[in-house]
Amino acid sequence: MDSTGTAYRKHEGVVGEFDAIVIGSGMGGLSVASLLAQEGQRILLLEQHNVVGGMTQAYTRNGYRWTVGMHYIGEVGSTKGAGWKLFNRATGGQIEWSALPSVFNRMVIGEQTYEIPAGMEAYGDVLKEHFPSESAAIDTYLMLVGKVAKSSGPYFAQKAMPLVLADKVYDAYCTDFHQYSEQLTIDVLRQLTTNEELIAVLCANWGDYSLEPSKSSFAMHCMLAKHYVNGAHYPVGGGSAFAEAMVPIIENAGGRVLHSAEVEEIMTRDDAVTGVRLTSGEVISCPNVISNAGVQNTFGRLLSQHSATEQTMVSQLSHVRDSYAVVGINIGFKGSNDQVGLSPANIWAHPSADLEQNLVAHRQEFDAPFPWCFITFPSTKDPHWERDFPGKSTVEMYAYTDYRHFAKWADTTWMKRGDDYLIIKEQIKQRLLAELYRHIPNAEQYLDYVEVSTPLSYETFAKRQRGGFMGIEASPQRFAQKWLRAQTPIRGLYLTGQDIATDGVIGALVGGVIAASAYLKRDLMTEIRTAA
Ligand SMILES: Cc1cc2nc3c(=O)[nH]c(=O)nc-3n(C[C@H](O)[C@H](O)[C@H](O)COP(=O)(O)OP(=O)(O)OC[C@H]3O[C@@H](n4cnc5c(N)ncnc54)[C@H](O)[C@@H]3O)c2cc1C
Q: Counting atoms of ligand 1 from 1, which one is nearest the CA of 52? A: 49
**32 domain-assigned:** yes
- The protein residue whose alpha carbon is closest to atom 18 in ligand 1 is 504
**17 domain-assigned:** yes
> What does residue 399 show for φ and ψ, rounded to 5 degrees?
-140, 140
Q: Judge whether 162 and 221 are in contact, CB under 8 Å.
A: no
| Residue-level pLDDT at 2 | 57
Residue 3 CA to residue 51 CA, distance in Å, equals: 5
Closest CA to 500 of 481, 521, 528, 527: 481
Q: Which of 446, 467, 488 is the last residue of a domain?
A: 467
HEC-encoded secondary structure of 91-128: CCCCCCEEECCCEEEEEEECCEEEEEECCHHHHHHHHH
pLDDT tens for 384-418 read 999 999 999 999 999 999 999 999 998 888 888 98
Judge whether residue 460 has pLDDT over 90.
Answer: no
- Residues 455, 364, single domain; the answer is yes
359 pLDDT band, cuts 50/70/90, is very high
What is the CA(208)–ligand 1 centre distance, in A?
13
- The protein residue whose alpha carbon is closest to atom 41 in ligand 1 is 263
The reply to whether ligand 1 has any atom less than 6 angstroms from the CB of 512 is no
The reply to whether ligand 1 has any atom less than 6 angstroms from the CB of 293 is yes
What is the CA(245)–ligand 1 centre distance, in A?
17
Closest CA to 323 of 242, 216, 240: 216
Mean pLDDT of the chain: 96
What range does the domain containing 260 cover?
6-94+236-319+470-530
Q: What percent of the chain has pLDDT over 90?
A: 91
Q: Judge whether 217 and 181 are in contact, CB under 8 Å.
A: yes
What is the CA(164)–ligand 1 centre distance, in A?
31
Which range (100-109, 254-263, 363-372, 414-423) has the least confidence?
414-423
- Residues 357, 461, single domain; the answer is yes
Crossing angle (nearest 10°) for helices 240-252 and 27-37: 30
| Best of 44, 262, 277, 292 for a ligand 1 pocket test (most atoms within 8 Å of beta carbon) | 292
For residues 214-229, give the mean pLDDT. 98
Q: Which of 441, 467, 493 is the last residue of a domain?
A: 467
- Residues 123, 222, single domain; the answer is yes
Q: Judge whether 107 and 205 are in contact, CB under 8 Å.
A: yes
Residue 494: CATH number of its domain: 3.50.50.60
The reply to whether ligand 1 has any atom less than 6 angstroms from the CB of 501 is no
pLDDT tens for 473-488 read 999 999 999 999 999 9
**506 domain-assigned:** yes
Residue 518 CA to residue 464 CA, distance in Å, equals: 26
- Residues 306, 333, single domain; the answer is no
- The protein residue whose alpha carbon is closest to atom 8 in ligand 1 is 71
Judge whether residue 327 has pLDDT over 90.
Answer: yes
Closest CA to 34 of 4, 2, 10: 4
- The protein residue whose alpha carbon is closest to atom 49 in ligand 1 is 54
- Residues 366, 340, single domain; the answer is yes
- Residues 454, 340, single domain; the answer is yes
DSSP-based helix, strand, coil % in the chain, nearest 5:
45, 20, 35
The reply to whether ligand 1 has any atom less than 6 angstroms from the CB of 463 is yes
| Residue-level pLDDT at 462 | 86
Q: Judge whether 21 and 44 are in contact, CB under 8 Å.
A: yes
| Best of 70, 246, 258 for a ligand 1 pocket test (most atoms within 8 Å of beta carbon) | 70
Rounded to the nearest angstrom, the gap between the alpha carbon of residue 476 and the centroid of all alpha carbons in its chain is: 19
**111 domain-assigned:** no
305 pLDDT band, cuts 50/70/90, is confident
| pTM recorded for the entire structure | 0.97
- Residues 284, 358, single domain; the answer is no
Residue 277 CA to residue 279 CA, distance in Å, equals: 7
Q: Counting atoms of ligand 1 from 1, which one is nearest the CA of 458? A: 53
Q: Which of 202, 228, 254 is the last residue of a domain?
A: 228
Judge whether residue 116 has pLDDT over 80.
Answer: yes
Q: How many domains does the chain have?
A: 3
Sign of CA dihedral 160, 164, 167, 169: negative
The reply to whether ligand 1 has any atom less than 6 angstroms from the CB of 70 is yes
Q: Judge whether 506 and 69 are in contact, CB under 8 Å.
A: no
What is the CA(425)–ligand 1 centre distance, in A?
23
What is the CA(239)–ligand 1 centre distance, in A?
11
| Residue-level pLDDT at 465 | 82
306 pLDDT band, cuts 50/70/90, is confident
- Residues 135, 58, single domain; the answer is no
Within 8 A by CB and 6+ apart from 438, the residues are 349
Closest CA to 497 of 520, 472, 480, 522: 472
What is the CA(23)–ligand 1 centre distance, in A?
13
- Residues 54, 134, single domain; the answer is no
If you count them, how many residues does the chain have?
Answer: 532
32 pLDDT band, cuts 50/70/90, is very high
149 pLDDT band, cuts 50/70/90, is very high
The reply to whether ligand 1 has any atom less than 6 angstroms from the CB of 72 is yes
The reply to whether ligand 1 has any atom less than 6 angstroms from the CB of 262 is yes
- The protein residue whose alpha carbon is closest to atom 38 in ligand 1 is 293
- Residues 476, 520, single domain; the answer is yes
Residue 524 CA to residue 199 CA, distance in Å, equals: 38
> What does residue 221 show for φ and ψ, rounded to 5 degrees?
-55, -45
**211 domain-assigned:** yes
pLDDT tens for 258-280 read 999 999 999 999 999 999 999 99
Judge whether residue 1 has pLDDT over 80.
Answer: no
Q: Residue 56's CB: how many other CB atoms inside 10 A? A: 25
pLDDT tens for 168-220 read 988 889 999 999 999 999 999 999 999 999 999 999 999 999 999 999 999 99
Residue 375: CATH number of its domain: 3.90.660
- Residues 460, 329, single domain; the answer is yes
Q: Residue 113's CB: how many other CB atoms inside 10 A? A: 12
| Residue-level pLDDT at 415 | 85
**102 domain-assigned:** no
**396 domain-assigned:** yes
β-pairing verdict for 103-109 and 346-350: parallel
The amino acid at 507: G
**301 domain-assigned:** yes
Q: What percent of the chain has pLDDT over 70?
A: 99
The reply to whether ligand 1 has any atom less than 6 angstroms from the CB of 55 is yes
Q: Counting atoms of ligand 1 from 1, which one is nearest the CA of 499? A: 26
Which residue did the predictor score with more confidence, 469 or 228? 228
Q: Counting atoms of ligand 1 from 1, which one is nearest the CA of 470? A: 19
- Residues 305, 354, single domain; the answer is no
What is the CA(55)–ligand 1 centre distance, in A?
4
